[in-house]
Amino acid sequence: MGKRTVFFFVLALVAMLGSSPAVAEQQRMEAQPSGGAMVVDALVARPLLIVATAAGTGLFLVSLPFTALGGGVGSTAETLIKTPAEAAFRRCLGCTVSRRADEL
């Protein structure tokens, strides 16, 4: 390989690595929810998700003896309690995806 070829590959690598933060920042900015989405989330979605979490907790407690006999306590708790609770309390206002514990 000649010096020009090596120089070209190094230059291309630097250009790609240098543009990665700009692309990531642009994707992050595009993911910002609108003001309307935040208002609807705060006034409608969050209260409904809190009610769903409370109802799921009640349903989980009622079904717990039967679920324990079947061995599905973990998956039932995840579905009825954890999923709506994460959506209500862990995601940003107006966002549609919950943050996971490893992202905090």
Q: Read off the pLDDT of residues 22-66 as tens digits, 9 standing for 90 and up.
A: 545 555 555 688 888 899 999 999 999 999 999 999 999 999 999
CB-neighbour burial class of residue 100 (10 A; exposed 0-12, middle 13-18, buried 19+):
exposed
Amino acid making up residue 101: A
**Residue 1 — very low, low, confident or very high, per pLDDT cuts 50/70/90?**
low
User: How far apart are alpha carbons 66 and 59 in whole angstroms?
Assistant: 12
Q: With contact defined as beta carbons under 8 Å apart, do 60 and 76 qualify?
A: yes
Q: What is the pLDDT of residue 20?
A: 56
Q: What is the pLDDT of residue 17?
A: 62
Q: Read off the pLDDT of residues 61-104 as tens digits, 9 standing for 90 and up.
A: 999 999 999 999 999 999 999 999 999 999 888 888 766 544 54
